[in-house]
């Protein structure tokens, strides 16, 4: 939480002397902490952070329909139905995790491919999850 000490002091009609500010700020924070709603939302945030931490990228649930839209630019090489075109590998039937892992490695540069590195660079974690869910939904 970011408190504008000067504003708080003016609000309280105090001169913003250092000790005063500290005391008033402590009191204000104390009041806020007593709010049950605030406590609840704090707990919720902590719980959500814990969930995110435990799941990470692998748990980000992909959306098949969103993924379909996001693969429009991939179809030229990987096929309209993920079947692969010419030398380009098929992606249909890969699991969401396999696709996400490959894209993360391409984005981080762990996997080098001159064509795919810039492609993966443009994708967010959510994009990758959606794309993975879409290819996973297709038959090999
Ligand atoms: C211009 C052609 C082209 C386009 C467009 C393209 N790719 Fe690729 N893709 C490749 C090539 C080439 C490889 C590397 C193949 C290899 O190394 O065997 C590859 C590899 C991949 C791999 C890893 C496959 C593996 O064997 O590890 C994934 C996943 C992938 N592409 C996803 C995508 C997605 C998602 C898009 C669209 C956002 C996309 N590609 C667009 C050419 C393309």
pLDDT value of position 54: 47
The verdict on the CB of residue 77 being under 6 Å from ligand 1 is yes
Read off the pLDDT of residues 63-111 as tens digits, 9 standing for 90 and up: 999 999 999 999 999 999 999 999 999 999 999 999 999 999 999 999 9
Identify the CATH homologous superfamily for domain 64-137.
Answer: Cytochrome c-like domain (1.10.760.10)
Residues 67, 29: Cα–Cα separation, whole Å: 44
Give the start-to-end residue ranges of the domains of the chain. Answer: 5-59, 64-137
123 to 9, 24, 88, 94, 128: CA distances (angstroms) = 46, 46, 19, 18, 6
pLDDT at 127 over 70: yes
Residue of the nearest CA to atom 33 in ligand 1?
74
pLDDT at 130 over 70: yes
pTM greater than 0.85 (yes/no): no
28 to 13, 32, 34: CA distances (angstroms) = 14, 6, 10
User: What does the pLDDT average to over 51-63?
Assistant: 61
List strand residue ranges (DSSP E) for 1-105, in order.
none
Read off the pLDDT of residues 3-37 as tens digits, 9 standing for 90 and up: 555 455 455 555 555 566 566 656 665 655 566 66
CA of 35 to the centre of ligand 1 (A): 52
The verdict on the CB of residue 103 being under 6 Å from ligand 1 is yes
């Amino acid at each position: 939480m970011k408190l504008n000490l000067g504003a708080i002091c003016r609000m309280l009609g105090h001169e913003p002397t250092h000790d005063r500010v500290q005391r008033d700020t402590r009191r204000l924070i104390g009041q806020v902490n007593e709010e049950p709603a605030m406590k609840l939302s704090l707990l919720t945030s902590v719980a959500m952070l814990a969930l995110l931490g435990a799941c990470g990228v692998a748990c980000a649930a992909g959306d098949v329909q969103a993924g379909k839209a996001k693969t429009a630019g991939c179809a030229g090489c990987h096929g309209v139905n993920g079947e692969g075109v010419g030398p380009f590998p098929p992606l249909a039937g890969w699991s969401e995790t396999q696709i996400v892992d490959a894209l993360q490695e391409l984005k981080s540069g762990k996997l080098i491919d001159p064509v795919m590195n810039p492609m993966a660079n443009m994708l967010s974690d959510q994009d990758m999850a959606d794309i993975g869910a879409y290819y996973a939904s297709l038959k090999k």
